[in-house]
Structure 1
Amino acid sequence: MIVGNGPVPESAGAAIALADRVIRFNDCHSFRPGERCDVVAVCNTGRPARAMLQEPAWARHPAVMAAGEIWGVRDPVFFEALRAPLALSHPELDDFCDDGTPGFAAFAAASGKSFRVLDASLHHRVTAALAPFSPPSDYVVPSSGLMVIAAMLEDAPAAVIQLTGFTHQGWEGHPFAAEARLVDSWIAAGRLQRLGMKPTTRAAQA
């Protein structure tokens, strides 16, 4: 179960509880007391990383405390290579590539959690998968949600992977309209389900 930070129906609680793994994002905004969280996927560069690492309340959040894994969605070497081109195309993002990965790694180690950073090669595959869906030419990077969805599709291709809390809206630097169409194509192919939708034949048999 991959739970975005958008609205999650009250009825989703039972399905979330039954999932083998529950993945949430950053500040786990959609988390409700008593719900599950096994993985917290974080933006490990830029302002989001700094905000989480500098705010003691993030480390004390019940979802973060419950999680056994922290995932960084941004390969720091790859993002450092983006610094120069972004300085020309998006000069307002001067701290976008600042690396918070060591801070999350240290937090995970001190908390007895495993730590993973999604590889740059996944970023390239996601970018290629988005291309047929006409993303804006000036988008910055895919969203954390899309990166984690793609990672799970590769990690567990036979699993039933469900989504909830995804509105595919937000920061204009993410190509959300194209991402929504890509995710819909994966759902149509039976690779994903949106919670509450009728399962596809492939997913029901997985």
Structure 2
Amino acid sequence: MKTGRIIMIVGNGDVPAGAGAMIDAADVVIRFNDCRSVGASGTKTDIVAVCNTGRPALSMLGGSWKSNSAVRQAWEIWSVRSGGKFANMRAELAKTYPDLGDFCDDYTTDFESFAQATGRRHRVIAAAVHEQVDRDLARFGPAPYAVPSSGMIVIADVLSSFATRDDDVVLAGFDHFGWELHPFAAERQFVDVLAAEGRLRRLLCRS
């Protein structure tokens, strides 16, 4: 039995009935972007992982994200994408997916400035995490994709560098559906393997 922290990684999908109280009772709760998971999945937010490139980043920075109550509650902001890695991806993505012209535009410094100005910590998930996820997903024969989802990158980062062996890493709100250029089918299979290995578990609640 795990004796360390309970770390909840809460995606923006559906959560089981009764999940909110269990999520709020966790030691660390990680949410994503505009934290629209808040509600049925509780309100506690310790870390907000943001997509710090392209249109999602620009939308957050130019809208009400900074005053979002969940964001204001968090003590740390994680930028999911390495600016250097995405800069190197720009030329190839422009050929493969020409509609993604602004996909690699990097707003990391804007998130860092917000964190510093409001007394929060900020960190950027290393490019090596992204590259390892690409290798791991290749085992499942994914269809062509642009990048793994932010959720998958955060899961991998938590398991590799944030959680200890005694921590209990729990997923909620991960439907593995969404943008067609994320490899969600392969990500679901990979998460199932991680769960079978005891590296993490999905949150299940009694109705």
Which structure 2 residues correspond to residues 120-199 of structure 1 after superposition, within 5 A?
120-136=127-143, 138-155=144-161, 156-158=163-165, 159-196=167-204
Quick one: distance in 2 between partners of 1:157 and 1:186? 15
Q: Which has the larger helix fraction? A: 1
Instruction: State the Cα distance separating 1:197 from its structure 2 match.
Output: 7.2
Quick one: distance in 2 between partners of 1:88 and 1:135? 20
Which structure 2 residues correspond to residues 1-206 of structure 1 after superposition, within 5 A?
1-32=8-39, 35-55=43-63, 57-136=64-143, 138-155=144-161, 156-158=163-165, 159-196=167-204
Quick one: distance in 1 between partners of 2:112 and 2:156? 22
* Counterpart code for 1:144: S
Among the aligned pairs, what percent are the same residue? 53
Q: TM-score normalized by structure 2?
A: 0.91
Instruction: State the Cα distance separating 1:18 from its structure 2 match.
Output: 1.8
Quick one: distance in 1 between partners of 2:160 and 2:26? 18
* Counterpart code for 1:179: E
SS of match in other structure, 2:44: coil
| Superposed CA offset, 1:1-57 (max 9, x none) | 0000111234112211221110000011110296200000000000000000001x1
User: What CA RMSD, in Å, does the superposition of the two structures yield over aligned residues?
Assistant: 1.5
Quick one: distance in 2 between partners of 1:93 and 1:30? 26
Aligned positions, number? 196
* Counterpart code for 1:71: W
Runs (5+) with no aligned partner, structure 2: 1-7
Runs (5+) with no aligned partner, structure 1: 199-206
Query: Which structure is higher in RCO with an 8 Å CA cutoff and minimum separation 6?
Result: 2
